[in-house]
Each structure stands twice: as structure tokens, then as C-alpha cells.
Amino acid sequence: MPSRQTQLQPFFPRAVVFDLDGTLIDSSGDIADVLNECLGEEGIAAFEEPAVVTMIGGGAKVLVERALDRLGRAHDVALLDRVFDKFAARYEAMGAGRSKTFPGALEVLERLSREGVGLAICTNKPEHITRRVLDQLDLTRWFGAVIGESPRLPRKPAPDMLLAALAGLGAERREAVMIGDSAADIGTAKAAGVKSIAVTFGYTTIPPRELGADAVIEHFSELHAALAGLA
């Protein structure tokens, strides 16, 4: 991993690990599109995109469960299985779609990389889809480790994925910070003994300032100062 820490404050992290959806990229449009297509095939009216955003978090099956719950059909197991299977197949094929980085994200990645900070992704999105999305958004080049959902590791909030990301960067827990938007992200940081920063522009169903992160930012322009303040 690059080492230019002489340019940084002594307590500045050597590794920063980002969640993907709702933290680094806004993928809510893609998720809404796919969900509504699958529901439409069942004769169910589409949700508005802001409503879908409030259902995101916990994976595709949880998303579908929340959607059906709002429709009063949470106990229709056959419908749940059909919609989930369709969703998984279509989301698998979509890639980046309408996804885009949140404002200021690219500037943050460039600055941290220039300063010698190791960068990684730790997401519950399936790893092969994660890598495809990063490639399509021209983000892969920034990351020394990419850890997504796979059979080899338990999902966040278990600490294993974050620890694997740090191993890929050659960084210790005390040198790292996890950036995320959800209870799963902050929970995995706590379980791994890693400091954390929550963003307010993601998809959490819990108010970001109640997630228990060490700091909270409202825009990526605030990240560098927040990292420097985690002494």
C-alpha cells in the first residue's frame, strides 16, 4: 500500500473503507426501476422513487419484503419468491445502469489516494456485480481491495468483510476508518474495532446521527476534516 504519511497529520488514517450503495454511489434509480418492473409483471402499480429509497437496506429480499408489506401482502410467500427471483435476475444483468457517484466523491477519492491513503470497498452487494459497477463507473482504479457479498464471508454487520478489506490494504484496525450510511456499516465497524463515519445522504431507515458513528458528514467536502478529527 502506498506510504506517504509524512504528508499527513500523525493521527490521520492509513486506510479508508467505503460502503458502496448509499455511500459512494447513488443507485436508488436502478433499484427502483428493477423493483417496479418486477412488480408491474405481477399487475402491481409502481412505487415512486423516493418511496423505494426508504425501503433500501439489508439486501434485495428485504427490499421486496418491505415493498410487499406496504402493499399489505407481506404474507404472500409465493409472490415474494416470484418478485425476488425476477429482481435478482434483472439486477444481476443491469450493472451500473443509472447509478452515479454522490457529489464530491471523486474529489475525495483523488485526494486521499494522492495523500497515500489506502482505499477499499466493503459492501453487501454481490462481489461480482460490485466489480462490474465499479468498472463501468471508472472507479476500480482507486481501490486496493474490493470486498462484496460472497459465500466465503458473512455479510455486514459481521466484521469479516471489513477485516478482509483491511488485510487487502495491509492496514491495521487502529489505522482505519469505515464510511457508511447504514446500521450495517457502522455495526461492522464497531464489531471490527474500527472507527466510523456516517453520511446523511444514504438510505438508512435510522436517522444517521443515531447510528453511533464516531462522526457524521452531510457532504463529501466535509470528509477530510472529519477523518483528521478522529484522533
Indicate the domain borders of the chain: 5-27+99-228, 28-94
| Cα distance between residue 132 and residue 73, in whole Å | 34
Q: In what order do the strands lie in the sheet with 118-126?
A: 145-149, 118-126, 15-18, 176-180, 195-199, 215-217
Taking 80 as the threshold, does the pLDDT of residue 11 lie above it?
A: no
The answer for residues whose C-beta is within 8 angstroms of residue 217's C-beta and 6 or more apart is 197, 198, 199, 200, 223, 226
Q: What is the DSSP string of 100-151?
A: EEPTTHHHHHHHHHHTT-EEEEEEEEEHHHHHHHHHHTT-GGG-SEEEEEBT
Q: Name the CATH code of domain 5-27+99-228 (choices 3.30.1240.10, 3.40.50.300, 3.40.50.1000, 3.40.50.1100).
A: 3.40.50.1000
Taking 70 as the threshold, does the pLDDT of residue 3 lie above it?
A: no
Name the amino acid, one letter, at 154.
P
Catalytic residue among 19, 21, 33, 185: 19
Fold of 28-94: DNA polymerase; domain 1 (1.10.150)
Euclidean distance between the first and final Cα of the chain, in Å? 22
**Cis (ω within 30 of 0) for the bond into 157?**
yes
The one-character DSSP state at 14 is S
Q: Which residue(s) pair with 137 in the sheet?
A: none
> For residue range 31-79, what is the model confidence (pLDDT) as tens digits?
999 999 999 999 999 999 999 999 997 778 889 999 999 999 989 999 9
> For residue range 170-229, what is the model confidence (pLDDT) as tens digits?
999 999 999 999 999 999 999 999 999 999 999 988 999 999 999 999 999 999 999 999
> For residue range 84-136, what is the model confidence (pLDDT) as tens digits?
999 999 988 888 889 999 999 999 999 999 999 999 999 998 899 999 999 99
Specify the pTM. 0.90
The position carrying cell 458502496 is: 20
* Closest of 73, 27, 90 to residue 53, by C-alpha: 27
Question: Is 19 known to be catalytic?
Answer: yes
Mean pLDDT computed over 142-160: 95
Taking 80 as the threshold, does the pLDDT of residue 8 lie above it?
A: no
Residue 112: exposed, middle, or buried by beta-carbon count in 10 A (0-12, 13-18, 19+)? buried
